[in-house]
A = this chain, B = another copy of it.
Amino acid sequence: MAGEANPKVRVNREILQEFTKQMFHKAGLTEKNAALAAQALVNADARGHESHGVTRLEVYLDRIREGGSSATAEPIIVSDSGASAVVDGQNALGLVVGYFGMSHAIELSKKFGIGAVACRNSGHFGPAAEYALMGSANGNNCITFSISNATKAMAPWGSISPILGNNPIAIAAPTGNQPFVLDMALSTVARGKIRLAAARGEEIPLGWGLDATGAPTTDAKAAIAGLITPLGGPKGSGLAIAFDIIAALLSGAATTPDLVPQSELDKAQNVGHFFMSLHIPHFVNIDEYMSRVDLMLSNIRNSTPAAGVTQIYAPGDLELASELRANKEGIALQIPTWESLKKKAAELKVELPPTL
Contacts and interface: CB of A to CB of B under 8 A. Distances in A.
Contacts of A304: 159-161
Interface string A238-253: 1101101110111110
A284 B113 contact: no
Interface string A175-202: 0000010101000100000000000000
A161 to B, nearest CB: 4
Contacts of A116: 113-114, 278
Given A250-B143, A282-B84, A283-B250, A156 B303 contact: yes
Contact of A278 (B79, B161, B250, B284): B250
A306 B160 contact: yes
B242 A158 contact: no
Contact of A303 (B143, B163, B305, B314): B163
A183 to B, nearest CB: 9
Contact of A296 (B245, B292, B307): B245
A67 interface: no
A232 B232 CA distance: 7
B306 A245 contact: no
Contacts of A86: 283-284
B81 A282 contact: yes
A234 B315 CA distance: 8
Contact of A313 (B158, B213, B280, B296): B158
Contacts of A350: none
Interface size of A as a range: 35 or more
Contacts of A250: 143, 278, 280, 283-284, 289
A232 to B, nearest CB: 4
Contacts of A82: 83, 111-114, 282
Interface stretch (A55-63, A204-212, A263-271): A204-212
A37 interface: no
Nearest to A105: B114
A234 B183 CA distance: 10
B182 A239 contact: yes
A284 B159 contact: no
B284 A114 contact: no
A352 interface: no
B249 A292 contact: yes
A296 B112 contact: no
Contacts of A114: 82-84, 114-116, 276
A299 interface: yes
A44 to B, nearest CB: 18
A234 B332 CA distance: 25
Interface string A316-332: 00000000000000000
A299 to B, nearest CB: 6
Interface string A75-90: 0000101111110000
10 contacts: A82-B83, A82-B113, A83-B113, A85-B113, A114-B116, A184-B234, A215-B308, A231-B232, A241-B297, A244-B296
